[in-house]
Amino acid sequence: MKLPLSDISDREILDARPARNSLTIDRPYESLIEPECGAAGNVEDVATIFLTNRECPFRCLMCDLWKNTTVESVPAGAIPKQIDYALERLPEAQHVKLYNSGNFFDAKAIPKEDWPAIAERVRGFKSVIVENHPKLCGDGCFEFRDMLAAHGVELEIALGLETVHPEVLPRLNKQMTAEDFAITAEKLVAAGIRLRTFILLRPPFLSEEEGIEWAMKSIEFAFEAGVSCCSVVPTRAGNGIMEQLENDGLFQSPQLSSMEFVQERGLQLEAGRVFMDTWDARQFASCAECAEQRIQRIAEMNLSQQVAPRIECQRCEVT
């Protein structure tokens, strides 16, 4: 695939959007329990709470998380209420993810005055995982780390790297470089904060083979930067601008077989945990006969962090 003649602007990305969802600010837009293989190799339950808050200020080309955000900042006290609402309804878990479709340390998204109340509500968990842009990782990360540590809770931050492709990363409008990511990672790891990252499988402007190649290079870069866990996300359409790129021949989602291949290769590095996102994974399958088996194989590797036996399918002849 080829790169567009010019960068795609914030305005073009915004103009292509469909409507956002209607939300209630005293409730998270979703919450669930999911098992996850931990750093020690044991599978434990994670309570994932998708917080309702203001949209991320970065207009990343591939992002559709803004659909479940608000236009205005939520008032102080709303986020603790959302956490209460979720935890009252979820079964017990060992870890909690507070995902807010953007940046936890953006004061316009999560009011700083709510941090003590948040820290109080997550006492009893082993760790709290939040997401944040590398350029917004300031002293607040250390301040919140200390609040959690007072309750015996570890802080983990998920940073989006997406890709280290030198031409594609700038075109994603993420407004950072791979070097920015590495500098932030070094600072946080030195402060005792565990890191995970998000890697895109086949972002726009790459062929299937290039998508695989650069996903692997990005995983290797992240581990070398000190990240302990890579979560690989197959790039999807669904935000308006991605459909336009798809129509122009500049984007195509990856194949399910590529998802298997990248996870397998990532695990073989033995440098840290590698997860492959299986949400709505059937859309990436080219063979209906073996799709469920392949998705199950990925799910098994997510939990075991071991390469599972390959699927043989006479119909698609992909092994």
Q: Can you give the pLDDT of all 319 residues of the chain as single tens digits?
A: 878 878 899 999 999 999 999 999 999 999 999 999 999 999 999 999 999 999 999 999 999 999 999 999 999 999 999 999 999 999 999 999 999 999 999 999 999 999 999 999 999 999 999 999 999 999 999 999 999 999 999 999 999 999 999 999 999 999 999 999 999 999 999 999 999 999 999 999 999 999 999 999 999 999 999 999 999 999 999 999 999 999 999 999 999 999 999 999 999 999 999 999 999 999 999 999 999 999 999 999 999 999 999 999 988 865 4
Is 218 a domain residue?
A: no
280: left (phi over 0), alpha (psi -120 to 50) or beta: left
Contacts of residue 191, Cβ cutoff 8 Å, sequence gap at least 6 = 141, 142, 145
Contacts of residue 315, Cβ cutoff 8 Å, sequence gap at least 6 = 287, 289, 290
Is 50 a domain residue?
A: yes
Q: Rounded to an integer, what distance in angstroms lies between the CA atom of residue 35 and that of residue 261?
A: 22
SS3 state at 219: helix
Give pLDDT, residue 186.
98
Contacts of residue 153, Cβ cutoff 8 Å, sequence gap at least 6 = 119, 122, 123, 124, 125, 126, 127, 128
Is 245 a domain residue?
A: no
Is 185 a domain residue?
A: yes
Give pLDDT, residue 1.
84
Distances (CA, A) of 247 to 208, 241, 301: 17, 10, 34
| Bridge partners for 275 per DSSP | 231
Is 273 a domain residue?
A: no
Burial profile 233-246: b = 16 or more Cβ within 10 angstroms, e = fewer: bbbbbebebbebbe
Is 227 a domain residue?
A: no
Is 256 a domain residue?
A: no
Give pLDDT, residue 315.
83
Give pLDDT, residue 287.
92
- The one-character DSSP state at 73 is P
Model confidence, pTM:
0.96
The Cβ-side half-sphere exposure at 314, using a 13 Å CA radius, reads 0
Q: Rounded to an integer, what distance in angstroms lies between the CA atom of residue 272 and that of residue 250?
A: 32
Is 202 a domain residue?
A: no
- The range of the structural domain enclosing residue 70 comes to 10-197
Give pLDDT, residue 318.
53
Number of domains, the chain: 1
